[in-house]
Structures are given as C-alpha cells and as structure tokens.
Structure 1
Amino acid sequence: MIAGSLKFNLPPSLNASAPPERRGIRRDHVRMMVLSKETGYACHDSFYRLDQYLNEGDVLVLNTSRTIPAILRGCLTGSQKEVEIRLAGKIDESRWHALIVGPTVQAGERISFSGRLKAAVEQPAKETPLSVICFSKSGTNLFDEIYSLGEPIRYEYIDTPWNLDYYQTVFASHPGSVEMPSAGRAFSWELIFKLRRKGIKIVFIQLHTGLSYFLDDNFDHHPSKNREEYAIPEETLSIIGEARKEGRWVIAVGTTVVRALETAFSTGQAHGWTNLFIHPGYELKAVDGILTGLHEPEASHLAMLSAFIPQDKLYGAYADAVEAKYLWHEFGDMNLII
C-alpha cells in the first residue's frame, strides 16, 4: 500500500461501466462532490454547474493529450503463438515500453501485428514487467497503424468494448496517452464556453499518461517509478503566474496536470519528464485546487489528494460519496477540491 493512500470498501455496483452518454445523460451532467480544503465540508451538485464554484480570473488547467488505442494483438514470428501488447510509454519515434501479455519472449524475437506492422523485442522484461519493443514504422506512420489495429485499454469493471471515441475529452488534440486523462472527460464545449463567458481562464498543458496497472497485484508500481513526458506552453505559465500574483485560484483538471505543473514550478523546466510523487505534507507550489474523478481504494492518486485536504476529511468525504452512490472511474462522477 502506497503511503498516503486510503483503504475503504467500494461496492462493485459503484464502478461506472458505461459512459454517461450510454446511461442516458450528457457527459457534463454527471454528479460533482465539492470539498472545502479548510473545513472538509462537502456539498453535492451537478458538474454542469461548475461555474458557480469559480470566480472571474480563476484559472482551469486542462490536459490536451489524446488517448490512443494502446492494445495491439499479434503473433510471434515462427511459432505463431498469440501475444497481446499493451503500450505503456513512448521512448522515441519507433520504440515503446510495453507490457507483453502471453508467452515469455526473448530479445530479438519478432511480433507480427499485420502485413504492414511488425515489432522486434529489444529488451524483454526483467526488473519490471515492461519490455522495450521497436516497431517497423515510426512517427505518424506508426500512429496510423496503431489507430488502425489497436483498441483502447479497459479494465475489469468495464464489460463492453466501447469505441475509442468514448475515451476522449472534447478538447484532446495530441495523441499519446495510453489511458484517458479522465478528469477532463466531463467537459462539454457548452460548459467551456459558459466558463469563459464568466471570465474564468482556461489554459492547456500536455502530459501523455502511461500504463497504470500491469495486471499483477503483487508488483509495487510506485508513482516515483512512473516517468511521463509533459509540455507546458509559455502562455499557460504566464497566465498561471499572473493569477497567483492576483490571488486567484489555479485549478488543475486531473492528477496529470498537478504532476506537470508542480514539476515545472519546482524545476523551472516547461518541458521534460516527471516522476514526481505528491503525498500528504507536500507543499503545493503551482495549484490551489483540483478537479478529478473518484479514485479506487489504495490508489496513489489518493495520496496526491491528501496534499490538498487533510486525509481524515478526504476519508470522510469518500465515505459520504459511497453512501450517496457516486460512480467511480473514468466514466463516473467528479470531485472538486477547493
């Protein structure tokens, strides 16, 4: 168990197995639990009323990374044994870290995904479950094949193979995340325009999310071992800097945004890699609040939330959310901590 995460009972019925649109509601009409950092007081509302909790001049920071279909299926050349590849993180234009599900592979073995796409195993898994594979294509040509052949990653609480479009935010523009940066999913363009009309500033960063689960509960996947690439435009940094000088709130939409901004403000680097682990007691330098989904028991994200709000108050709020039957995970409800 990661220090700072929480144990609690999450009934399986509260796992959101379908997108809101397939449950009969708009994506921006999911529920929202609003927590006060100071008092721990929680009120319950709908996400489309987000503008009621923010003021003119406040800043919302969103992640523009676009989800890719990160599961590829193929065969080992020669043996024809079936193998599943879960992309975990891009290394360069043709090489990726990947979880290989299926037979044990050796360095040099080749995997055929189609007549157009193959990959060689450069470095099989050793200290970690991840291997390094090199594709026969690179750059945009590789992404074209991935989009043609792949399917989005889904976990056991989702029993329907939903189309990749359901795993995108409306503002996603840069392909690269192997799991959806899900905190931004509830936004609609209508809500974004409503927020802007009120004078709330909306800015963007980019961080491509890596693979969060390696299909092995015994593997200790500590956040500090998870390196993710980020890029923050100068305009975004400038607007955040002005807001902080004026005493306005800077609200990160998602844990990915918190990691990117806190890394940038700590290192002075607008572009780079982050393995920052944010935990109870961490002194936040860039953000004042967070908008996020609801996180499962013992998730490392709960340690990050405990940097915003005392852990006992967070635990109490999560107990209330379970009692009120909020829905969890990427298709579920939202939590605003301010």
Structure 2
Amino acid sequence: MMLIPTEKRLDADTPPEKRGQMRDGVRLLTYWSDSGRIVHGGFFQLAHQLEAGDVLVFNNSRTIPAELKTVDGIRVRLSREVEDGTWDGLILGESSKKLEFMHGLKALVTGPGTEPPLVRLVFSCSSSRLLRELYRQGDVIRYEHVARSWPLQDYQTVYASIPGSVEMPSAGRAFTWRMLAHLQKHGIRLAFVTLHAGLSYYGDDKWPNPALHPEAFSIEDEQAAIINDAKANGGRVIAVGTTVVRALETASDGNTIIPQAGVTSLYLSRTSKLTAVDGLLTGFHEQEASHIDLLQTFAGEEGVKAIYKEAVAKRYLWHEFGDMNLLMRQERS
C-alpha cells in the first residue's frame, strides 16, 4: 500500500537535541481507530491522551555498534545472534568467505543466513568478547536518510539497559527521565520487556520477511505481573514500539502475559487478532509491507492512510529522530 510519495516525506537526519529541542520536544499525532479522530500536540503531552491505570510497555534493549569494517574496507552489519559466536549478518560488497577485522578478530562465512541476503558468520571468539570488540571498533548502523555519523549515545533510549539490538528500538527515544516521572505522577504505570531488534532494512529496497526474521526476547515475572494487573483492573496496555507488540503478543495466552524467554518469528498482519495490546506508540517510518500491516491491526487500512496523509500535510518528521504517532484502538469518554 503506497501511502505517500517519498519526495513528500520530511526525513529527520539530526537528533532533536542537536537542532535546539529536548528529546521530548518532538510532536505527537494521536489517532483513535473507533472514531477516526486525530489530535495534534507535543509529545510531552502524552499523559493527556492516557488515563490513570494504563500501562506503557517499553523495550529496554540497548543498541550496540553492530557495523564492522574488515581490514580491506568491506562493511559487515550484524543482524542477530544465532548462538554463541555465531551471527546472521549482511556483507556490503564483494568479499571472500574469510573475513579479517582489526585487533585479530576474524569471521568465517559458513553459508546462507535465515533469509537472503543474510549470511551465517562464525566469529573467532565468543559473543561476550565480540561485544567488547564491537564497542572497540564497531560503528552504529545508519541509513541513507542520516547524512552524517552521530555518537552511539544518540541511538540509545534513556532507559536502555541490556545490550543486544543492532538498531535502536526508536519508538522510545523521545522519552526523558523527567517525562517518565511525569507519567507515573499521573498514575500511568511503566513496564519493561527485552527484544533485541535485528536489521530492519537490507538495502536495494529489500526488507526482512517477519516470518523469517526471528528475534530474541524475554519478559520477567515482575514485568508480566505489572501488565496483567493493569489489564485486570481495566487499564490499557500501550506498546512503545512494534518490537514490544511482537513480544507481548507472542507471550500472550489470550488473556494474560506469560513470563518467558525465547525467540519470536511472529508476523502480525491486518487480519491478526490482538489479545494483549490496546495501543501503539511508534514513529513514522518506511512504508514497507510488514510495518504497515502491523499498523493496520490498530487502525485499519483507511485509518493508516488518514494518519499518513495528515502527517504529510502537517509536516511531521520521519524516522528515528523524528516525530511520534500514538494509535489507540478505542477512545474513552
């Protein structure tokens, strides 16, 4: 579904803090799917769209510098850890099966990855040492809409605590500690899950197939209890990002969230029935099929078209440094 021509999109290539704003100074477009009502405001006003007893669920995975460069200058982007020392990755350019990086780090291409164009990489060390090498010689993965390099800290949410995502779970980037405290003061509860996000784009107009794009996740007992208690007492569950939707719907038994750790390949389409999540906070991103399909589980096809048409007309900013979109399934009086 083509929503808008690319040339009409306003890509944000600079963090808000570098363009004279606070992190939470971006804009917020709120859409209620039952009424079709759209409200514009500032992201710091998010509490006005929620109610006491609602729970915001965040992904606390921390972004790692997941792009390496071989001694020959070939760029290698990691996508996900398959097992200790073994990763799916994307090689940008022609290379041999033997890859050599700085400081003695090596990797062997042993075959195809989970889906093309990913390949399976076996490194010469454990994943714990590889993580140290990534922080030593790796770089942040960035795409064409970001013209220059920004520090790793600009690709972290303030609450990120568990390293593992090769790209920032960007829906939570605009939150500040001040804003989190403000939300709690208004009776809105906070819960955290972990899902290590893989590559969202392979280049040359190729995006991952969600069914072939497994991602590791975990939900602890205490966090599941917060979510389940909110739901049982009439509160709404709002996922901060599509990664959280994927984790919660995977862990749902239809009524409650079951604490667990594992890998999910869940693909949510417009016909999927959501049992855990009542709302979604997300940014404005590429119009590739899986992302749009997931948005349609909340707003339907016409609703998503209306959201993106309004976002273009009001000049909202796209991508991880851009503005925010709250989709709620039902408006309360």
Q: What band does the TM-score fall into relative to the shorter chain?
A: over 0.9
Q: Could you state the TM-score of these two structures normalised by the residue count of structure 2?
A: 0.93
* Distance in 1 of aligned mates of 2:41 and 2:193: 27
* Distance in 1 of aligned mates of 2:53 and 2:324: 22
**Identity of paired residues, percent?**
45
Paired residue for 1:29? 25
* CA displacement, residues 153-175 of structure 1 (integer Å, 9 cap, x when unaligned): 11111101111111000000111
The alpha carbon displacement at 1:110 in A equals: 2.3
The alpha carbon displacement at 1:112 in A equals: 1.5
Structure 1 unaligned runs (5+)?
A: 76-80
1:313 aligns with 2:303: yes
* CA displacement, residues 115-148 of structure 1 (integer Å, 9 cap, x when unaligned): 2322222225696211111222213322111111
1:332 aligns with 2:328: no
Say which of 76, 79, 82 aligns to 1:88: 79
Paired residue for 1:222? 209
Paired residue for 1:189? 177
Instruction: Give the match's secondary structure for 2:39.
Output: strand
Q: Is the 8 A contact 2:64 2:135 kept in 1?
A: yes
* Distance in 1 of aligned mates of 2:108 and 2:281: 40
Letter in 1 for 2:124: S
More displaced stretch, 308-317 vs 251-260: 308-317
Paired residue for 2:91? 100
Change (3 A) 1:13 1:319: closer
> Which structure 1 residue ranges, 4+ long, deviate > 6 Å from structure 2?
none
Instruction: Give the match's secondary structure for 1:40.
Output: coil
Change (3 A) 1:243 1:156: same
Paired residue for 2:66? 70
Q: What number of residue pairs does the alignment pair up?
A: 325
Change (3 A) 1:12 1:84: farther
1:92-131 alignment to 2 at 5 Å? Answer: 92-105=83-96, 109-124=97-112, 128-131=116-119
Paired residue for 1:78? none
1:208 aligns with 2:196: yes
Q: Supply the RMSD in Å over aligned alpha carbons.
A: 1.7
Paired residue for 2:224? 237
* CA displacement, residues 245-281 of structure 1 (integer Å, 9 cap, x when unaligned): 2221110000000000000004956211111111112
Q: Is the 8 A contact 2:224 2:259 kept in 1?
A: no
* Distance in 1 of aligned mates of 2:290 and 2:151: 28
* Distance in 2 of aligned mates of 1:40 and 1:328: 22
Q: Is the 8 A contact 2:196 2:216 kept in 1?
A: yes
Instruction: Give the match's secondary structure for 1:133.
Output: strand
